[in-house]
Every structure is written in structure tokens, then in C-alpha cells.
Structure 1
Amino acid sequence: MEAGRVEHVLTLDCAEAPGIVHAVSGFLLEQGCDILDNHQFGERTQGHFFMRVHFSSVGDAGTVALLREAFAPVARQWAMDWQLREHGAKRKVLIMVSKFGHCLNDLLFRARSGELPVDIVAVVSNHTDHQGLVEWHGIPFHHVPVTAATKPAAEARLLELIDAHEAELVVLARYMQVLSDSLTRQLDGRAINIHHSFLPSFKGAKPYHQAYARGVKTVGATAHYVNSELDEGPIIAQQVVEVDHTYGPADLVAAGRDTECKALSNAVKWHCEGRVILQGNRTVVLR
């Protein structure tokens, strides 16, 4: 990056109409900005428009606030839902996990290596199996046991931890508890789950065993936003791997682990880079 310049990402969606791209690019030109990368999509069936612009400007870290203020009138004119963030800014992420640790370990490694633009601020679990791993990474670990009787109190504690750590995103990395409708509403659009199946097939418990019973030739995983409908939230990313008749249920579980890690890490990355826009029960991923 040239000295004295900073990079930003503008993500927006609005009703489709002629002139939107001109309005955005014209604004950036007036501000002395240089477009580095642009992705856009017009949804013709529903008349909606989506756009993500990566651009640079003269200035420093405080320039993004000035650009937000200057862009607000343009956004109002076109009735846009929009975000303008510093490019590469790390999002604060809280991870939830139960006993299966492969997705947790993968996210910790990718965050530590700089592959994910995240700051993992805490890990919450209903078990203590991964406490040592999490604390080795220097990340706070919170044990919050859950039973049917204590579930309301456990979820209240989770919300306290989200607020205390100022988490912008909650990631369910094989957290094997069903969240209440109340909690999913409060986390709408900022909680991602990994389901060990290529949804919408084989929902619920033991999807690999369901896949084995059906003799499938591929298994996969789905990362999706959490909502009140179990395993039916808007899909962000999916991965599959080929299998055959020689695979038993345990083999399918083993084969699926890598797909779970990759689908989840992709979803977290795309969300934190401002590439995912919710549209009802669907997502548009601009990449």
C-alpha cells in the first residue's frame, strides 16, 4: 500500500435501479478514492442489487469515519442497507464448542496464522475438554454447563459473555446444544453454525449415520446463519467429499471432518470480510 493511503470495504444492498453503480463510483471519485476490487449482483427475479467495493483513499485510520459521514446522504437517496469498514479490520469472535474439537482447532490455527481476519476474544463450552488448548492460545475459556433445568441461566450467561467481550460474531464450532428461539432472535445475523451434513439433506442428529443408511456417494458440511428453525438458517458455505460403499458410519464421520472445517472457516472469513449479505432465507456471497 502506498504511503499515506488506507483501504476500506463498502458493502451495500438496495432495490435495483439504474444509476446505483454510477452513484457509488462517482462518490468515490469525488473523495479521491481508487477502486481496487468490485463485485456486484443484480437479482432480477426480486429486483434487488448487491455490491461490495474494496477501495483505497488518502488518509489514516480515522478516515473511515469521515467517509461514512460523507456517504450517508448517498445511502439515504437509494435506501441502502450498508456498511463501510476498514479493510482487514479484525472482527471480535466468540467461539462455542462441545466435545468435538476439530473445527475449534482449525479456527484457532487460522486465526493465529493470520488467515482469518478475526480476533478470537473467548471460547465458551459446556464441557472442559478443550480448556487447555484454548488457554495455550492465550484466549479466555468459559465453562458454562447446560442441562434442561439450567438452560435459561446458561443462555443468559452466554449473552453476558458476548457483551463483556464485545463479540461481533458468535461461531458454533460443533456446539451440540440447540439454542432457544429467544437467543437465536438476539443473535440474528451474527451467529454461524456448522452442520455436519450437506443441507438440506440429513438434518438433526447423526447425519453421517443417515447418509450411510441411504448409501450416499458424497458427504459434506454446511455453514449457515443460526435462526429459530433447526438446521434451516441461510446457507453461507458448503463443502463435499466423495465416498463409496466401503465407508461405514465411522469412516463417513472421519471423511466429513475436513469438510466441516473448510466450510466453517470459509463462512467466517467471508462474513468478516463483508462478503455475505442476507436476503430473507438466502445469502448473496460477493467474492
Structure 2
Amino acid sequence: MNSKSKPWIFTASCPSIVGTVDVVTRYMANAKNYIDEIHSFDDRESQRFFIRVEFQPGDSDFTEATFAADFAERAAEFSMEWQLARPEHRQRVAILVSKYDHCLNDLLYRYRTGQLNIEIPVIISNHPDLKPLAEWHGIPYHHLPISNETKPEQEAEIVKLLAEYDIELVVLARYMQVLSPKMCEHLDGWAINIHHSLLPGFKGARPYHQAWEKGVKMVGATAHYVNNDLDEGPIIAQGIQTVGHAQYPEDLISKGQDVERVTLFNAVRYHIEKRVFINGHRTVVFSN
């Protein structure tokens, strides 16, 4: 079936029992829904099954309500938790950033060119530096300065803005602040962070200079969900580049930033395309 229409996306997880794939594909066939793409995984460690399906409805009168009514009874037999995403839905994403602009620039470019099917209604920063970039894109920019004394008030204002703009996903695009446990708890599962992969070996200031002094041969980046474990939430995407003896700290920084922006883009894309399932401390990612 050839179609240029954006697909509906069905995702589900349930305990590992016989018939999990069949209950989904049989329903899709009986409902005359054409499957464009399907991925499934059964995790023998957690004893849990995961599935993602992109499909085109065969019935012109197809609605979420009719799907739910028809599929709910079948899903209940498997204790299946499922979601259905509409083709036209664009997730509302808030970007938090400090002074580094490489990840923000990349996300805005991909948003502007349609590579990311999202809306960005707000950018929040603890510095004023990147306000002109936000204004050029016509996006409200909220500068919320922070200190140790004002951290609770600043984070409360962020939470208020996320609710005000009806945000569905928060992206920390090199937001150089350690979030409080309360803030991490609030963002658990719906915020993505990016950092260099030199951790935990090279902590603190000037990590690339530390790595260069030790003669590292690769730099990388990790994108993960935010939780109470600092920089240790469930990983969504990672990337690496090799480096050599003829490259200096500034070269490592440049390569590292390239990896960071691509890795963050992939993580955001996987999330908004419903390709990521949180599975305990790990993730199941149906990348394409």
C-alpha cells in the first residue's frame, strides 16, 4: 500500500505471554489497517513485551474512539498498556539552555526545516545570551537567573512555565545546572538531558582538557531521561567519534559538540516518534 499520509502510531507493553504479537497484528488485519512498520521485543530479564506499529487505517471513518472500543477487550486479556498517537499531533517541547548554543541551534534548525515534528513554544535559560537566537525564530525566551539562594524559586518558575505552555517534553540542551531532587522527580520520564560521555572519568571543569591530557582516543555523548540519579537516567541514544594524537583540546571540544547535537536530535526524534519505552533503569529503543 503506497501512501504519503503520515501514519498512526500504536505502542504497547505487557507481560511476556504467548500471543502478544498475534493479538496486535490480527486486530490490525481484521480492521483492514495496513502496517507500514512494526517492531517488537521480548525482554527475558524483565519478562516484559514491547511493540510499536505504524499503520494506515483502512476505514475512512477510523477514529481513536472506535479503535479503543474494538481493541480494549483484546488488550485486557494480556494486561496490555497501550497508546495511540495521531498523525497530526506535534508534541509541545520546551528547551532549557545556558550559554552553549550548538544543541539549541541544531534543534531549532531541524524544527524549522521539518525534520522534527514538534512545536517549540518556549525557551528557558539561566542566562540572557541566546535570547536573540530565540527571537529570530519567533519563540518566547524566558531568562530566569539562578543562584544557590534562588534555586527553589527559579525551578518553581520553570515548573509554572511548563504548565502554562502545556509542555509535553522538556529538552535540556546543555542546561548547565544541577537540578534539585524535587525538580528531577517532577521531570522524571518526560525530560531529556545531553552530556559528554567522558563521565565519570573526567568530572568538573574543562573535561575535554582533562581527557586530552590523558590521551583519550574517542569522545562521545549520551542522551538520557532525567531522574534523581545525576547523569545516570535511562539512556536513549549515544554517539562517539575517534580522536588522535594530532588533535588538541579545542579539536576535542569541537568534535564532542558535533556528537552532542546529533545524539540529542536522535534522542528527541526517537521520543516524539514513540520509539522509546522505559524498562526499569534501561530503555527499549526501536530506532530506524
Assess same fold via TM > 0.5. Answer: yes
Alignment partner, residue 106 of structure 1: 106
**Unmatched 5+ stretches in structure 1:** none
Asked if the contact 2:33–2:59 (Cα under 8 Å) also holds between the matched residues in 1, the reply is: no
Quick one: distance in 2 between partners of 1:81 and 1:123? 33
Q: Is the 8 A contact 1:37 1:54 kept in 2?
A: yes
- The answer on whether the counterparts of 2:198 and 2:211 sit within 8 Å (CA) in structure 1 is no
For 2:76, the equivalent position in structure 1 comes to 76
Q: Which residue of 1 aligns with 2:189?
A: 189
Alignment partner of 1:159 is 2:147: no
Q: What is the Cα deviation at residue 87 of structure 1? A: 3.1
Q: Tell me how far apart the structure 1 counterparts of residues 276 and 196 of structure 2 sit (CA, whole Å).
A: 21
Stretch moving more, 59-68 or 142-151: 59-68
Matched, 1:42 2:42: yes
Which letter does structure 1 place at the counterpart of 2:130? H
**Structure 1 Cα separation of the partners of residues 110 and 37 of structure 2:** 24
Secondary structure of 2:57's partner?
A: strand
Q: Distance in 2 between matches of 1:151 and 1:285?
A: 34
Q: Secondary structure at the match of 2:135?
A: helix
Look up the SS of the partner of 2:178 in the other structure: coil
Q: Is the deviation greater in 53-62 or in 11-20? A: 53-62
Distance 1:107 1:187 in 2: 20
Three-state SS of the structure 2 residue aligned to 1:184 is helix
Question: Hey, what does 2:143 align to over in structure 1?
Answer: 143
**Distance (whole Å) between structure 2 residues aligned to residue 70 and residue 20 of structure 1:** 16
Deviation at 1:26, TM superposition (A): 1.6
Instruction: Give how far 1:64 is off.
Output: 2.6
Give the aligned length. 287
Q: Which amino acid in structure 2 is aligned with residue 9 of structure 1? A: I
1:247/1:210 CA distance change after superposition, 3 Å: same
Question: Mean alpha-carbon deviation: is it higher for 255-264 or for 52-61?
Answer: 52-61
Contact kept, 8 Å, 2:32 with 2:59, in 1: the verdict is no
In structure 2, the partner of 1:63 is: 63
Cα RMSD after superposing both structures:
2.1
Query: What is the alpha-carbon distance in structure 1 between the residues aligned to residue 156 and residue 59 of structure 2?
Result: 42
Say if 2:3 is the partner of 1:12.
Answer: no
Greater Cα offset, 239-248 or 218-227: 239-248
Q: Which amino acid aligns with 2:87?
A: H
Equivalent residue for 2:214? 214
SS in 2 for 1:233: coil
Q: Compute the TM-score of the two structures, normalised by the length of structure 1.
A: 0.93
3-state SS of the aligned residue for 2:232?
coil
Specify the SS of the correspondent of 2:146. Answer: coil
Q: Determine the C-alpha separation between the residues in 2 that align with 1:74 and 1:53.
A: 16
- Bigger CA drift: 80-89 or 107-116? 80-89
Query: Using the alignment, how far apart are the partners of 1:198 and 1:120 within structure 2?
Result: 30
Query: CA offset at residue 114 of structure 1?
Result: 0.4
Identity %, equivalent residues: 48
Pairing 1:120-131 to 2, within 5 Å after superposition: 120-131=120-131
CA distance in 2, matches of 1:59, 1:125: 46
Structure 1 segment 227-246 matched on structure 2, within 5 A: 227-246=227-246
Letter in 1 for 2:37: D
TM-fit CA distance, 1:227:
1.0
DSSP 3-state at the match of 1:178: coil
Shift in Å, 1:59: 5.3
For structure 2, the residue ranges without an aligned partner over 5 or more in a row are none
Deviations 1:161-185 (A, max 9, x none): 1001111000000000011111111
2: CA distance between counterparts of 1:162 and 1:105? 21
Q: Secondary structure at the match of 2:114?
A: coil
Does structure 2 conserve the Cα–Cα contact (< 8 Å) formed by 1:196 and 1:208? no
Comparing 36-45 with 6-15, greater Cα deviation is found at 6-15
1-structure distance, mates of 2:265, 2:61? 27
Q: 1:180 to 1:61 in 2, by over 3 A?
A: farther
Q: Distance in 2 between matches of 1:255 and 1:263?
A: 12
Structure 2 partner of 1:91: 91
